[in-house]
Amino acid sequence: DIVMTQSPLFLSVTPGQPASISCKSSQSLLHSDGKTYLYWYLQRPGQSPQVLIYEVSSRLPGVSDRFSGSGSGTDFTLKISRVEAGDVGIYYCLQGINFPRTFGQGTKVEIK
């Protein structure tokens, strides 16, 4: 199974400041079709998860451009350029190249 390791597990950020979350996979997520199957989700308090980013760096429609994804192979990063109050929650990475699908442990983001 592919192990997804996120860091840090907790972030306390001042509004307007940037934030960065790392996600490392135990195997490359680059498929033979040329796509890299790494996704980012946000689970706001009391809500179901929602997808923010697919294939490393593609934002879903409606997702703020303050969110950006980058990386390749086994190392990935989610960046929030200027954190806002509505960004609080737990961020998860998910790999979609192999079964079983596996999530990172989650990174809890709070506002200072």
Partner 1 sequence: EVQLVESGGALVQPGGSLRLSCAASGFTFNIFSMNWVRQAPGKGLEWISYITGSSSAIYYTDSVKGRFTISRDNAKNSLYLDMNSLRVEDTAVYYCARVALAGRGYFDLWGRGTLVTVSS
Q: Give me the residues that bind partner 1 (CB under 8 A), please.
A: 1, 33, 35, 37, 39, 41, 43, 48-51, 54-55, 60, 90, 92, 94, 96, 99-106
According to DSSP, the residues that pair with 63 across neighbouring strands are: none
Instruction: Kindly state the smallest distance separating residue 15's Cβ from partner 1, in Å.
Output: 26
Instruction: Kindly state the smallest distance separating residue 38's Cβ from partner 1, in Å.
Output: 10
Please say whether the beta carbons of 93 and 105 come within 8 A: no
Please say whether the beta carbons of 81 and 69 come within 8 A: no
Instruction: Kindly state the smallest distance separating residue 47's Cβ from partner 1, in Å.
Output: 8
Instruction: Kindly state the smallest distance separating residue 50's Cβ from partner 1, in Å.
Output: 7
- How many C-alpha atoms does 88 have within 13 Å on its Cβ side? 11
Please identify, using beta-carbon distances, which residue of 22 and 105 lies nearer to partner 1. Answer: 105
Please identify, using beta-carbon distances, which residue of 1 and 110 lies nearer to partner 1. Answer: 1
Please identify, using beta-carbon distances, which residue of 36 and 74 lies nearer to partner 1. Answer: 36
Rg (C-alpha) for the chain, rounded Å, is 13
- How many C-alpha atoms does 32 have within 13 Å on its Cβ side? 1
